[in-house]
Amino acid sequence: MNFIRNILNSRSNRDGNFFVNLKSILGFTPRNLGIYKIAFTHRSMNLRDDEGNPINYERLEFLGDAMVSSIIATHLYNEVPQGDEGYLTKMRSKIVSREHLNELGRELNLIEYVESKIPKDNFGNNIYGNLFESLVGAIFLDRGYEYCEKFIYKTVIIPHVDILQLEGKVISYKSLLIEWCQKEKKTFEYNIYEDTGNDELRHFSVKLLINDKVIAKARATSKKKAEEKASKRAFFAYQSKISRAI
């Protein structure tokens, strides 16, 4: 533990504002600052404790993911007594979606506090959601469930959770489109190919065919993003039919 303590103390000397900034983000006073510093330590730092275990935010991210899901589930259970298991699960998925968690982490500017050997500009969008979850995990270890709940209500539930709005929010256009195609017995196919062109980043293009007819095309930096973008365009092309069927 002396090894960890020395690392954390040295980082504290380099960033005397960390405690003040953290307190402002949390809305309460942290007790164990070391846990929060681990919550912002990227694996590229290659830090290990005296027993050789890695020191980074990934384990806290795992813990925070469970805490966020639990607190949101409890809120929905209490707020929507008429909702069945399927409804509650779908609503929770909308709130804790990767896209939404990334937005939360970005709002709090959590990337500003990351310790990493990788330039911050090189991180993908998911770094924001990962840091949000690791921060929640650190709160749980430092102050317990009650403080986690207060933080989630402050940053997620009060400003962002509107039941009626969420009921109409689409999590995945691809899933919705596939569900509709299967229900209506329509064939569908995503034809994907690499399309780098003159871009520095690798790109993929996709053609979405329904009943052997090209309905939508899209291009993005990953196959998943390209498929989702094409699915969204197809959804709006068939929106009235899908809304009646689903």
CATH number at residue 119: 1.10.1520.10
Of 137, 166, 195, the last residue of a domain is 166
Q: Are residues 83 and 146 in the same domain?
A: yes
Of 131, 166, 201, the last residue of a domain is 166
pLDDT at 198 over 70: no
Backbone φ, ψ for residue 174 (5° rounding): -65, -45
Q: Are residues 95 and 201 in the same domain?
A: no
pLDDT score recorded for residue 10: 47
Structure-model confidence comparison of residues 161 and 6, the more confident one: 161
pLDDT score recorded for residue 3: 46
What the block records as the tokens of 243 is 């809304």
Q: What is the average pLDDT score of the chain?
A: 89
Structure-model confidence comparison of residues 170 and 217, the more confident one: 217
- Rounded to the nearest 10 degrees, the angle between the axes of helix 126-143 and helix 98-107 is 70
Which structural domain, as residue segments, surrounds residue 215?
A: 173-245
Between 22-36, 58-72, 223-237, the lowest mean confidence (pLDDT) is in 223-237
Active-site residue list:
65, 133
Q: Are residues 33 and 93 in the same domain?
A: yes
Looking up residue 220, the CATH number of its domain turns out to be: 3.30.160.20
Structure-model confidence comparison of residues 104 and 13, the more confident one: 104
Domain count, the chain: 2
pLDDT at 11 over 60: no
pLDDT score recorded for residue 90: 86
Q: Are residues 180 and 154 in the same domain?
A: no
Cβ-contact 69, 93 below 8 angstroms = no
Q: How far is CA 25 from CA 56, 97, 137, 180, in A?
A: 20, 21, 15, 42
Q: Are residues 20 and 60 in the same domain?
A: yes
Of 123, 150, 166, the last residue of a domain is 166
Q: Are residues 162 and 72 in the same domain?
A: yes
Query: How many beta carbons lie within 10 A of that of residue 189, not counting itself?
Result: 11
Task: Categorize the per-residue pLDDT at 105 as very low, low, confident or very high, splitting at 50, 70 and 90.
Answer: very high
Q: Give CA–CA dist 241/225, Å, rounded.
A: 24
Q: Are residues 104 and 179 in the same domain?
A: no
Please state the pTM of the whole predicted model: 0.70
The pLDDT tens digits of the residues spanning 20-38 come to 999 999 999 999 999 999 9
Task: Categorize the per-residue pLDDT at 70 as very low, low, confident or very high, splitting at 50, 70 and 90.
Answer: very high
pLDDT winner (highest mean) among 22-31, 199-208, 224-233: 22-31
Overall average pLDDT of the 129-154 stretch: 97
